[in-house]
Structure 1
């Protein structure tokens, strides 16, 4: 059972979501298909100032010496977590501030040494996908409870997916052992998130919902969450890019990111996420930027085979053409559009295409090398997405 603490505007959004559910349920009655829906077990605390509830959540799990995790850049936030724990009568096991993107195996091993030395009995991860991924990696190996305090819109906190990079190769696995026990969404932590990172992190979240719309194991419940999550992010991110401390837009974006994260945690991913894992792990590219750049091209690749999903995406984006709708949104967000801008060499295009075909996985459109290479080439060059792949 999930617990949600929301402010007045979030109650309003919840009512909107219920209206969407009621409206679209009429459609689904006409086109109902067999499906299986499994809700991942997680306790969600959502609102403004919810970080203050952390000591109660730690005690509820029976933890006595949790280790606080962060990146080097977020040590200050880790310090705040420690002080809140101590004010609540909890003595943490200290901090590990070495989290980094793509969850390198050597970083996980160093963190496990700290866990053992300080006899930690749980982890509290504050940050984005890098820190959350490290917490998952520790939980996978120790079965420790996790509390996650997201500061971006990445969404890893609501999934059973964990990635790991070793010798330049990124691999992923899916296991319920890494699902955090508690997620505390505190809108206040996102108010200072830089506008550029807000945009790319938000598009990364949006990508989760887009692929959920045509996932092999999609279902009507997730379709509704996906469409609403895309809609919330598409309307809030352009506002944040112009005014980063807009509280209502920040709340709206975090709400949308949560819905998109639930979608990612409940369905299988396909070509978009697979390409991003290959590109990010092979060339050490920034995670959110890579997702932002690749998304419209990956969607253009699949669009001809998933017309119903494209209708829902178009509706959520408020544009007749979903591919062009994504192009327009990315232009508004002022994000980088080419992989060459974030460090991918041109001679890596063929290598990435080969790696994308190396492991078999489901996708609504068959994976063929020449079209996939063209997807990567367009993404590398920064071209606007087109539906002629």
Structure 2
């Protein structure tokens, strides 16, 4: 056994019903006096409640999916004009992504309060979109200094979005098993992440107000993000970043739809990952376990439902092929990537 593993420095507060107190404590620890709050319009009420005890100098609500460069630049200018010395972001992946876009150039510390299972809060990965191309990178400045997890904030997240967001988290786990920096520690986090997500998400579908289900999914999403942050982007994320940036497809739904096709593509040449996933799902195969979960969740099935067309496939393949990691267990070609996208577009049986 030989590997190098890096663990990111970050504080985690996990307590249902304690978000406001947790945020006050974290801002106090970093000594911030002029806080910028980033939250989209739908999360405005939650954000005001969570940040009521803070010295807030700015509420910024221009949150856009995939973080266009011009949106990030306006947020940076607003932070500078307000003299902000810290950011509290309350929301999902797009909100956290915007906070990262500000921190990337300003160095402002971030305290993240997630309201979805996106996991961006636990990574040092940033993403910005310009034109039709999404660029991603890593930088320690964008890693939130702390995360305040409160499952009580999740109960208003609609079931369909909870499913898509939870499967997005599960995709982090799966991709971590064959990403460029995959190692046994990442695999341990990823496997446990799959197990608790597979247990928690059906409980949310059965009862959206189930705190047990929300806590399991939130815990799983954190494990997924930590494993992904260390392992790096595998084939699944490379595909979804191209599709999201180039065709403006919804982030979580795209990940939820593409995942079973990438698993079917790679699993035959990744026996160790297949065995870990099979065990975590408690199924005969990894693919069968994922499909059974997706059926129980009534998960998104076809990219065409979100605006992706078969005529888009050649251009998408052209952008995906150069960024496929050399560590990917199955050799990617223009033909088999086109087949993968065609199946995902139509919602065919992944197997």
Normalised TM-score (structure 2): 0.97
1:181-192 matches, cutoff 5 A: 181-192=145-156
Residues 1:46 and 2:17 are matched in the alignment: no
Q: Which residue of 2 aligns with 1:37?
A: 5
Kindly tell me the number of residue pairs found equivalent between the two proteins. 349
Q: Which residue of 1 aligns with 2:219?
A: 255
Q: Partners in 2 of 1:264 and 1:361 — Cα distance?
A: 14
Q: Partners in 2 of 1:216 and 1:98 — Cα distance?
A: 34
Q: Partners in 1 of 2:300 and 2:324 — Cα distance?
A: 30
Please state whether the residue corresponding to 2:94 is helix, strand or coil. helix
Shift of 1:54: 1.2
User: 1:204, 1:291 within 8 Å by CA — same for their partners in 2?
Assistant: yes
Residues 1:72 and 2:36 are matched in the alignment: no
Residues 1:173 and 2:173 are matched in the alignment: no
User: 1:78, 1:95 within 8 Å by CA — same for their partners in 2?
Assistant: no
Shift of 1:360: 5.3
Structure 1: give runs of 5+ residues left out of the alignment. Answer: 1-32, 86-90
Shift of 1:321: 1.4
Q: Partners in 2 of 1:172 and 1:45 — Cα distance?
A: 27
Measured against aligned partners, the alpha-carbon deviations of 1:55-77 in whole angstroms (never above 9, x if no partner) come to: 12101101100100011221112
Q: Which residue of 1 aligns with 2:63?
A: 99
Measured against aligned partners, the alpha-carbon deviations of 1:225-256 in whole angstroms (never above 9, x if no partner) come to: 11111000001111111210011111111111
1:270-285 matches, cutoff 5 A: 270-285=234-249
Moved more, 215-224 or 198-207: 215-224
Q: Partners in 2 of 1:82 and 1:176 — Cα distance?
A: 25
Q: Partners in 2 of 1:100 and 1:335 — Cα distance?
A: 24
Please state whether the residue corresponding to 2:88 is helix, strand or coil. strand
Please state whether the residue corresponding to 1:93 is helix, strand or coil. strand
Q: Partners in 2 of 1:152 and 1:355 — Cα distance?
A: 29
Residues 1:58 and 2:27 are matched in the alignment: yes
Q: Which residue of 2 aligns with 1:13?
A: none
Shift of 1:326: 1.2
1:198-217 matches, cutoff 5 A: 198-217=162-181
Please state whether the residue corresponding to 1:37 is helix, strand or coil. coil
